[in-house]
């Protein structure tokens, strides 16, 4: 188990390294650089005449005149060693400050969504497989088609509309007005929970649709396995049989795709955030892209991707623990 | 064939027909068989027909749409859909018509608003004279599929208008062309990339394969919409709509290949040591030829299924990006651009018809998914033959 | 000797997309305490389905014929009609495992891969013997010892994939027997094993059966195996028993052309230079069951005008034996 863990860990570090290179390249794509945009933003409209030499000075100041490779090491080194993601020019402060506790808000949304996804999709998928061909089963098939086809921002709008009608106007966003800038307290956390469910439902929607199909397919396979017939022939009571034999194995593909779900949720987050007025990393990412504040955007993209890679690592470990056959394969 | 069997009661003739049908079945090519099986998949056939109609409407948008995508009707701003009817208080008619509108001042706000004028009838006509447009970009026509007579001095808006008085129906038709064509180009680009990348990995194997697998994994792990957004954000603001359009297809295609490349790789790996491949290699055929002539044909049908089911992702990605303002920009029209006008709950309450493009998105995505499923079933050689 | 299981007129049909098929039609057999009945036939002859019906292990699309009777005499002497047990009832669960045990062809697939051997054994032991966890574990180790697994105390905590094929089938036997069944159904238990291991497992099963005094139904397609293990034999073809009787008698003096064909198909060391003589033709698909005698499409001695028209009755020329073939009826002989 230790060797398995170490190997997966090494794999995770390598992937993270490659991801950081890719994110860095994306940060470099927009025309112009930080110095240009910084100068433009700071002095445009102020009447100050910015010369090429001024920009050059800023560039030198920030070390932007260095070759790309050096700048990459500077950037990633700062992140790894000091937690320093550089400056956010649109906010005139450090990226770390801008991101701040939005990381935790995002994590909260992510876990609420994941929890909802699995709490719904696993039992429902199992039920659909056991009651194959029933009305519920067909209904779920239609639902899962819709789960893929309905753009999430549209779903968010529709949900928001109905939530407004049924639960009052103050349901979008993550907090009620009085808590938005208040320090963390129990009341604020509770307030967040009251708002969180809507985002969780919207973000979980397609993941649920997808996972139900996965669970249903695996469960249907597993139900027909000889080991299930054999256990039934030994007189294991039906409910215990279902849970212990096929359902236990039907969870494996779900576990192995946790990273995939996180990826999907993060992918939808910036779009859904626009509609629901969420104030977390996705919304900030979109804003940063629109401002071409690439230090912020790069930092967020890196954090989100690292989270996915880390979840992949966790899901590998979990799968290794759930399925004794995997350890042997290492 | 089977009809003939039923019509002739004669057993020997029926037997001969049966035999002929069997012969036809056994000698049919792979593609004929797939088509036969696909044809029996009713949902997929319906989906294909729907998509066909959409594609035709998009291709001939200039003719199908009564008005241009940016033509404004200042007489009818944020107007509700006008549904042609056959009857009103004044009686019925065989030709569908709409009632006219007139401008009045709102008694409270004193703003000019348009109110229906039941006195006037405007009859709906097919093949009606209207704006001069260039069909397919080069055939000048002034006729449109449907509309009101130009003498009426009014326009018909089947699906209402937006805040600038632009016809939602016309815009949706034009948007269909943009969105579907971006999907097609995006899928084509990612297909070519998948062929090259997956082909290299699967055919060469070894170190090349390892490196490509690593790179693929890195791309798969980055959340795709934020990645697309990063690239789209980098498009210079001063680019023309055409430049943005092609840049978008490139962006979507550039990262759409991993799934397909993976499929091609694994299939190639599984057959690269088959005797017939080795024979071709020994005969001195070049790798490109071996892959194209000997290896790919064995799983073309799977590739097609994968291509079809990758359309929805392209369409949804384009829609999402344009929706948040990072994709196509006005004055281009795509489904996502149109939906940008419908970002708030206020829009649902006051101008719900602005959501009609969303129906197109959902239908197109559903259709591609259902067709993909139908094709997958049809292409499965183990599907029961009857 | 006492009858522990008597099956009469068992018919099983399935609803399918192509209509109703009947893979088992009018099957009758009995199993006696301490004796082994061999069920022989090609794949698709309905031998597995018949035994699965005993334990209600058939899928929901299966229907038993109205005249089907399956009477089982339990360990306590109670007579139980197996077809009438309610789904999910306690009685059915007692029958499954506790009264009738089943061993399948694929030992690997019969175990769940994610639990240890011991876990799955203890589950059955606790269920049917009412032992506590610790005692159950001791019992499981004892059972593993009994089936000849060395180092049982360590093996009990291993996963199925960590055992070899023969070892796995031994463990499966231990698992099935640990619930204490009075009747053991073995569905081609040796087919998936190497020949040398096959012989060991067969020996083991015969010894255990004698030691525990169980009745046994042994399903196989191999008449050679029957000769080693069975006391009685029933030969099945397309869902009907075409010949039955004491194993020795049937093998020495087969009456039905199909049984003769099966025996001829066994390669013999005495005649290495002869070509193998398979039964000609293919087994028809269950959707196209031939009318009349089901075997007439492949029979070299079929009587035209009789065999393809009427189903033959069961006749008995030799005491204790029975055969369904027109060749052994007075009408058939006169027609031929």
Tell me the pLDDT tens digit for each residue of C318-330.
888 888 888 888 7
Least confident of A200-204, B94-98, C74-78: B94-98
> Where are the alpha helices (H) located in C213-305, listed in sequence order?
223-229, 247-252, 257-264
Q: How confident is the model at residue A330 (pLDDT cuts 50, 70, 90)?
A: very low
Q: A112 and A195: one domain?
A: yes
Last residue of a domain, one of A59, A74, A92: A92
**Range of the structural domain that residue A44 is part of:** 2-92
- Residue B63 pLDDT greater than 50, yes or no: yes
In B, minimum Cα distance to A313 occurs at: B221
Name the residue facing C109 among A226, A232, A233 (closest C-beta): A226
User: In 3D, which of C55, C62, C60, C72 has the Cα closest to residue C11?
Assistant: C62
Task: Collect all residues of chain C within an 8 Å Cβ-Cβ radius of residue A323.
Answer: 113-114
- Euclidean distance between CA atoms C52 and C70, whole angstroms: 12
Tally of CA atoms within 13 A in the half-sphere of C261 that contains its CB: 21
Interface size A-B, in CB pairs within 8 Å, comes to: 131
Tell me the pLDDT tens digit for each residue of A243-278.
999 998 889 889 989 999 999 999 989 988 888 888
- Average pLDDT for B112-141: 75
Q: Judge whether B104 and B94 are in contact, CB under 8 Å.
A: no
DSSP state, residue A244: I
- Euclidean distance between CA atoms C22 and C18, whole angstroms: 12
In angstroms, the first-to-last Cα distance of chain B is: 14
Give the pLDDT score at A189.
77
Tell me the pLDDT tens digit for each residue of B260-280.
888 888 888 888 888 888 888
Task: Provide CATH code, domain B170-378.
Answer: 1.10.3720.10
User: In 3D, which of C250, C259, C256, C173 has the Cα closest to residue C216?
Assistant: C173
Instruction: Mutate one of B215, B335, B345 to test the A interface: name it (highest A CB count within 10 A).
Output: B345
Q: A162 and A311: one domain?
A: yes
Q: Is C102 on the interface with A (CB under 8 A)?
A: yes
Q: Judge whether B157 and B351 are in contact, CB under 8 Å.
A: no
Q: A187 and A58: one domain?
A: no
Do strands C100-103 and C183-187 pair parallel, antiparallel, or not at all (unpaired)? Answer: parallel
- Euclidean distance between CA atoms B119 and B89, whole angstroms: 9
- Average pLDDT for B101-116: 70
Task: Collect all residues of chain C within an 8 Å Cβ-Cβ radius of residue A235.
Answer: 92-98, 124, 127-128, 179
- Euclidean distance between CA atoms C177 and C99, whole angstroms: 10
Tell me the pLDDT tens digit for each residue of B293-322.
888 777 787 888 888 888 888 899 999 999
Higher pLDDT, B227 or B87: B227
In A, minimum Cα distance to C179 occurs at: A234
Tokens for A314, please give them: 């966790």
Last residue of a domain, one of A40, A62, A92: A92
Instruction: State the average pLDDT for chain A.
Output: 84
What total of structural domains would you count in chain A?
2
The angle formed by the CA atoms of residues A39, A44 and A47, to the nearest 5 degrees, is 115
In C, minimum Cα distance to A321 occurs at: C114
Least confident of A53-57, A114-118, A133-137: A53-57
User: In 3D, which of C114, C117, C156, C123 has the Cα closest to residue A322?
Assistant: C114
Report the share of chain A in percent with pLDDT over 70.
93
Do residue B229 and residue A268 have CB atoms under 8 angstroms apart? no
CB contact set of A322 (below 8 Å; sequence gap of 6+)? A251, A252, A255, C114
- Residue B10 pLDDT greater than 80, yes or no: no
In A, minimum Cα distance to B320 occurs at: A271
- Euclidean distance between CA atoms A302 and A312, whole angstroms: 15
Give the pLDDT score at C228.
87
Subunits next to B (3 or more Cβ pairs <8 Å) are A
Tokens for C10, please give them: 């068992």
Tell me the pLDDT tens digit for each residue of B18-36.
666 666 766 777 778 778 8
What sign does the dihedral C239-C245-C248-C253 (CA atoms) show? negative
Q: A114 and A223: one domain?
A: yes
Give the pLDDT score at A172.
64
Q: How confident is the model at residue C272 (pLDDT cuts 50, 70, 90)?
A: low
Tell me the pLDDT tens digit for each residue of C224-260.
888 888 999 999 998 899 999 999 989 888 889 899 8
Name the residue facing B320 among A30, A263, A271 (closest C-beta): A271
- B1 Cα distance to chain centroid: 35
Which DSSP string corresponds to B79-140?
PPP---EEEETTEEEEEEEEEEEEEEE-TTT--EEEEEEEEEEEEEEEEEEEEEEEETTTEE
In angstroms, the first-to-last Cα distance of chain C is: 40
Q: A78 and A208: one domain?
A: no
- Euclidean distance between CA atoms A290 and A296, whole angstroms: 11
Name the residue facing A233 among C97, C112, C113 (closest C-beta): C97
Give the pLDDT score at B280.
85
Do residue A308 and residue B348 have CB atoms under 8 angstroms apart? no
Give the residue carrying structure tokens 């290794």: A320
- Euclidean distance between CA atoms B358 and B339, whole angstroms: 7
Tell me the pLDDT tens digit for each residue of B192-213.
999 899 988 888 888 889 899 8
User: In 3D, which of B325, B264, B331, B330 has the Cα closest to residue B299?
Assistant: B264
> Using CB atoms and an 8 Å cut-off, which of residues 130-159 of chain C contact chain A?
159
Domain boundaries, chain B: 72-164, 170-378
Task: Collect all residues of chain B within an 8 Å Cβ-Cβ radius of residue A153.
Answer: 320, 323, 339, 343
Supply the ipTM of this predicted assembly: 0.86
Q: Judge whether A26 and B231 are in contact, CB under 8 Å.
A: yes
Q: Judge whether B161 and B78 are in contact, CB under 8 Å.
A: yes
Q: A121 and A246: one domain?
A: yes
Strand pairing partners for B141? Answer: B133
- Average pLDDT for A212-232: 90
Q: What is the pTM of this model?
A: 0.82
CB contact set of A234 (below 8 Å; sequence gap of 6+)? C96, C97, C101, C123, C124, C127, C175, C176, C179
Give the pLDDT score at C274.
67
Q: What is the CATH number of the domain that holds A284?
A: 1.10.3720.10
Do strands C79-81 and C322-324 pair parallel, antiparallel, or not at all (unpaired)? Answer: unpaired
In A, minimum Cα distance to C178 occurs at: A234
Domain boundaries, chain C: 114-179, 253-335
What's the Rg (C-alpha) of chain C?
Answer: 21
User: In 3D, which of A17, A27, A8 has the Cα closest to residue A299?
Assistant: A27
Name the residue facing A263 among B215, B223, B361 (closest C-beta): B223
Helix (H) or strand (E) holding C167: helix C165-178
Do residue B218 and residue A301 have CB atoms under 8 angstroms apart? no
Name the residue facing A238 among C88, C94, C106 (closest C-beta): C88
Give the pLDDT score at A111.
92
Task: Collect all residues of chain C within an 8 Å Cβ-Cβ radius of residue A322.
Answer: 114
User: In 3D, which of C203, C183, C233 has the Cα closest to residue C47?
Assistant: C233
CB contact set of C316 (below 8 Å; sequence gap of 6+)? C322, C323
Helix (H) or strand (E) holding C235: strand C232-237
Q: Judge whether C95 and C82 are in contact, CB under 8 Å.
A: yes
Give the pLDDT score at A13.
93
Subunits next to C (3 or more Cβ pairs <8 Å) are A
Strand pairing partners for B148? Answer: B124
Higher pLDDT, A181 or C160: C160
Give the pLDDT score at B176.
93
Give the pLDDT score at C157.
93
- B217 Cα distance to chain centroid: 29
Helix (H) or strand (E) holding C6: strand C3-16
Cis before B331? omega within 30 = yes
Q: How confident is the model at residue C178 (pLDDT cuts 50, 70, 90)?
A: very high
Do residue A322 and residue C114 have CB atoms under 8 angstroms apart? yes
Tell me the pLDDT tens digit for each residue of A47-61.
667 777 777 877 777
- Euclidean distance between CA atoms A208 and B70, whole angstroms: 40
Task: Collect all residues of chain C within an 8 Å Cβ-Cβ radius of residue A247.
Answer: none
Q: Is B277 on the interface with A (CB under 8 A)?
A: no
Subunits next to A (3 or more Cβ pairs <8 Å) are B, C
- Euclidean distance between CA atoms B226 and A262, whole angstroms: 13
Task: Collect all residues of chain A within an 8 Å Cβ-Cβ radius of residue C114.
Answer: 248-249, 322-325
- Euclidean distance between CA atoms A317 and A320, whole angstroms: 5
Give the pLDDT score at A277.
81
Task: Collect all residues of chain A within an 8 Å Cβ-Cβ radius of residue C111.
Answer: 227, 230
Tell me the pLDDT tens digit for each residue of C52-66.
999 999 888 888 888
Note the maximum CA span of chain B.
89
Give the CA dihedral B170, B176, B179, B182, nearest 10 degrees: -110
- Euclidean distance between CA atoms A113 and A267, whole angstroms: 13
Give the pLDDT score at A30.
81
Tokens for C16, please give them: 């399918």
- Average pLDDT for A298-320: 92
Q: A243 and A323: one domain?
A: yes
User: In 3D, which of B248, B239, B240, B233 has the Cα closest to residue B186?
Assistant: B248
Do strands C215-220 and C36-40 pair parallel, antiparallel, or not at all (unpaired)? Answer: parallel
Give the pLDDT score at C70.
92
Tokens for C239, please give them: 């869902």
Number of Cβ atoms within 10 Å of the Cβ of C71:
16
Number of Cβ atoms within 10 Å of the Cβ of B350:
10
- Euclidean distance between CA atoms B103 and B111, whole angstroms: 10
- Euclidean distance between CA atoms B193 and B253, whole angstroms: 8
Helix (H) or strand (E) holding B229: helix B224-233
Least confident of A157-166, A232-241, A249-258, C176-185: A157-166
> Where are the alpha helices (H) located in chain C, listed in sequence order?
47-54, 90-94, 107-110, 117-129, 133-146, 152-155, 165-178, 195-212, 223-229, 247-252, 257-264, 330-335
Crossing angle for the helix pair A2-28 and A294-322, to the nearest 10 degrees = 160
Number of Cβ atoms within 10 Å of the Cβ of C284:
15
- Euclidean distance between CA atoms A313 and C234, whole angstroms: 57
Helix (H) or strand (E) holding A94: strand A93-94
Last residue of a domain, one of A65, A92, A119: A92
Which DSSP string corresponds to A174-215?
SS-GGGTTSPP-HHHHHHHHHHHHHHHHHHHHHHHHHHHHHH
Surface-to-core class of residue C129, CB atoms within 10 Å of its CB (0-12 exposed, 13-18 middle, 19+ buried): middle
């Amino acid at each position: 188990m230790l060797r398995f863990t170490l190997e997966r860990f090494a794999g995770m570090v390598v992937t993270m390294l490659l991801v950081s290179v890719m994110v860095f390249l994306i940060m470099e794509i927009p025309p112009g650089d930080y110095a240009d945009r910084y100068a433009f933003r700071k002095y445009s409209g102020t009447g100050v005449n910015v010369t090429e030499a001024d920009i050059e000075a800023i560039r030198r100041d920030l070390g932007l005149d260095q070759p790309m490779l050096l700048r990459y090491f500077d950037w990633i080194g700062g992140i790894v060693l000091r937690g320093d993601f550089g400056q956010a020019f649109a906010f005139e402060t450090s990226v770390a400050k801008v991101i701040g506790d939005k990381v935790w808000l995002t994590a909260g949304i992510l876990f609420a969504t994941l929890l909802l996804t699995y709490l719904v999709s696993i039992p429902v998928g199992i039920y659909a497989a056991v009651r194959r061909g029933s009305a519920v089963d067909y209904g779920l098939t239609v639902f899962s088609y819709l789960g893929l086809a309905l753009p999430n921002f549209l779903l968010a709008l529709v949900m928001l509309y109905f939530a407004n009608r049924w639960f009052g106007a103050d349901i979008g966003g993550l907090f009620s007005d009085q808590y938005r800038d208040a320090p963390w307290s129990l009341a604020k956390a509770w307030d967040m929970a009251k708002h969180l469910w809507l985002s969780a439902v919207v973000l979980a929607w397609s993941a649920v649709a997808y996972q139900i199909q996965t669970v249903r397919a695996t469960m249907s396979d597993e139900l027909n396995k000889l080991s299930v017939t054999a256990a039934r022939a030994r007189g294991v009571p039906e409910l215990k049989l279902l849970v212990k034999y096929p359902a236990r194995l039907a969870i494996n593909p779900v576990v192995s795709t946790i990273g995939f779900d996180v990826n999907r949720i993060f992918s939808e987050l910036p779009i859904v955030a626009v509609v629901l007025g969420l104030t977390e990393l996705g919304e900030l990412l979109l804003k940063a892209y629109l401002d071409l504040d690439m230090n912020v955007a790069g930092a967020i993209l890196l954090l989100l991707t690292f989270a996915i890679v880390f979840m992949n690592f966790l899901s590998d470990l979990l799968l290794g623990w759930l399925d004794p056959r995997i350890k042997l394969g290492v | 064939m089977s009809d003939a069997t039923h019509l002739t009661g004669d057993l020997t003739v029926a037997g001969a027909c049966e035999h002929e049908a069997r012969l036809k079945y056994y000698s049919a090519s792979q593609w004929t068989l797939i088509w036969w099986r696909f044809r029996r998949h009713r949902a997929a056939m319906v989906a294909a027909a729907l998509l066909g109609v959409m594609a035709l409407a998009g291709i001939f948008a200039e003719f199908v749409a009564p008005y241009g995508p940016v033509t404004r009707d200042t007489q009818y701003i944020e107007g509700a859909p006008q549904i042609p009817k056959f009857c009103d208080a004044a009686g019925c008619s065989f030709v569908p018509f709409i009632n006219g509108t007139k401008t009045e001042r709102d008694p409270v706000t004193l703003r000019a608003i348009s109110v229906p004028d039941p006195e006037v009838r405007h009859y709906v006509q097919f093949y009606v004279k209207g704006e001069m447009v260039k069909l397919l970009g080069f055939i000048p026509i002034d006729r449109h599929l449907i509309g009101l007579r130009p003498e009426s001095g009014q326009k018909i808006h089947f699906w209402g208008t937006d805040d600038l008085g632009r016809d939602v129906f016309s815009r949706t038709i034009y948007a269909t062309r943009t969105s579907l064509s971006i999907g097609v180009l995006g899928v084509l680009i990612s297909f070519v990339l998948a062929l090259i990348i997956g082909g290299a990995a699967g055919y060469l194997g070894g170190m090349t394969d390892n490196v490509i697998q690593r790179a693929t994994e890195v791309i798969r792990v980055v959340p795709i919409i934020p990645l697309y957004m990063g690239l789209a954000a980098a498009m210079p603001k001063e680019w023309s709509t055409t430049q943005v359009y092609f840049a978008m297809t490139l962006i979507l295609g550039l990262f759409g290949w991993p799934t397909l490349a993976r499929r091609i790789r694994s299939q190639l790996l599984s057959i690269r040591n088959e005797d017939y491949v080795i024979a071709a290699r020994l005969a001195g055929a070049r790798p490109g030829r071996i892959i194209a002539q000997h290896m790919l044909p064995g799983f073309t049908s799977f590739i097609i299924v994968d291509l079809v089911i990758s359309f929805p992702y392209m369409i949804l990605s384009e829609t999402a990006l344009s929706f948040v303002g990072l994709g196509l920009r006005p004055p281009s029209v795509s489904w996502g651009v149109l939906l940008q006008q419908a970002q708030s709950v206020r829009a649902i309450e006051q101008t719900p018809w602005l959501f009609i493009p969303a129906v197109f998105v959902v239908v197109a995505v559903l259709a591609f998914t259902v067709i993909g499923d139908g094709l997958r079933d049809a292409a499965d050689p183990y599907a029961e033959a009857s | 000797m006492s009858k522990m299981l008597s099956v009469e007129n068992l018919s099983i049909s399935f609803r399918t997309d192509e209509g109703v098929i009947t893979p088992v039609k009018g099957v009758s057999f009995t199993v006696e305490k301490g004796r082994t009945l061999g069920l022989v036939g090609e794949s698709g002859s309905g031998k597995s389905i018949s035994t699965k019906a005993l334990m209600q292990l058939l899928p929901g699309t299966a229907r038993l014929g109205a005249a089907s009777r399956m009477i089982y005499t339990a360990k306590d002497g109670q007579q139980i009609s197996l077809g009438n047990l309610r789904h999910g009832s306690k009685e059915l669960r007692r029958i499954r495992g506790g009264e009738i045990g089943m061993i399948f062809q694929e030992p690997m697939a019969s175990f769940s891969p994610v639990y240890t051997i011991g876990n799955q054994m203890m589950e059955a032991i606790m269920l049917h013997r009412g032992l506590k966890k610790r005692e159950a574990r001791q019992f499981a180790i004892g059972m593993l010892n009994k089936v000849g697994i060395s180092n049982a105390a360590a093996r009990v905590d291993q996963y199925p994939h960590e055992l070899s094929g023969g070892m796995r089938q031994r463990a499966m036997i231990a698992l099935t027997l640990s619930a204490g069944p009075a009747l053991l159904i073995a569905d081609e238990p040796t087919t998936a094993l190497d020949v040398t291991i096959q012989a060991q497992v067969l020996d083991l099963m015969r010894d255990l059966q004698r030691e525990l005094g169980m009745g046994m139904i042994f399903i196989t397609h191999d008449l050679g195996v029957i000769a080693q293990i069975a006391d009685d034999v029933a030969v099945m073809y397309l869902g009907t028993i075409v010949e039955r009787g004491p194993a020795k008698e049937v093998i020495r003096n087969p009456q039905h052309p199909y049984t003769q064909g099966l025996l001829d198909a066994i390669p013999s060391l005495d005649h290495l230079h002869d070509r193998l003589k398979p039964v000609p033709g293919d087994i028809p698909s269950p959707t196209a069951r031939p009318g009349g005698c089901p075997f007439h499409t492949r029979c070299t001695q079929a009587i035209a005008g009789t065999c393809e028209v009427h189903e033959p009755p069961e006749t008995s020329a030799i005491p204790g034996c029975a055969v369904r073939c027109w060749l052994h009826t007075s009408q058939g002989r006169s027609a031929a």
